[in-house]
Amino acid sequence: MIALPHTAELLEVARRVVWFHDAEETLQRPYTFLAYLMTFTVPSDFAIVRRYVSMDDFRLALENAPPGVFDPRSWAYWNLVCGRNPVPPMPQRKIPGVEHIPPFDPRWS
Render each residue's pLDDT in the chain as its tens digit; 109 residues. 689 999 999 999 999 999 999 999 999 999 999 999 999 999 999 999 999 999 999 999 999 999 999 999 999 999 999 999 999 999 988 777 777 666 667 777 5
Domain housing 82: 8-89
Residue 74 forms part of a structural domain: yes
In a domain, residue 53? The reply is yes
Inside any domain, residue 84: yes
Q: Residues in the chain, how many?
A: 109
Q: Would you state the pLDDT for residue 80?
A: 96
Please indicate, yes or no, if residue 17 is contained in any of the structural domains.
Answer: yes
Does the residue 78 lie in any domain?
A: yes
The domain tally of the chain equals: 1
What does the pLDDT read at residue 95? 75
**What was the pLDDT predicted at 48?**
97
Is residue 108 one of the residues assigned to a domain? Answer: no
Instruction: To the nearest 10°, report the CA torsion of 69, 73, 78, 79.
Output: 100
> Taking the model in full, what pTM does it have?
0.83
Residue 83 lies in a domain: yes
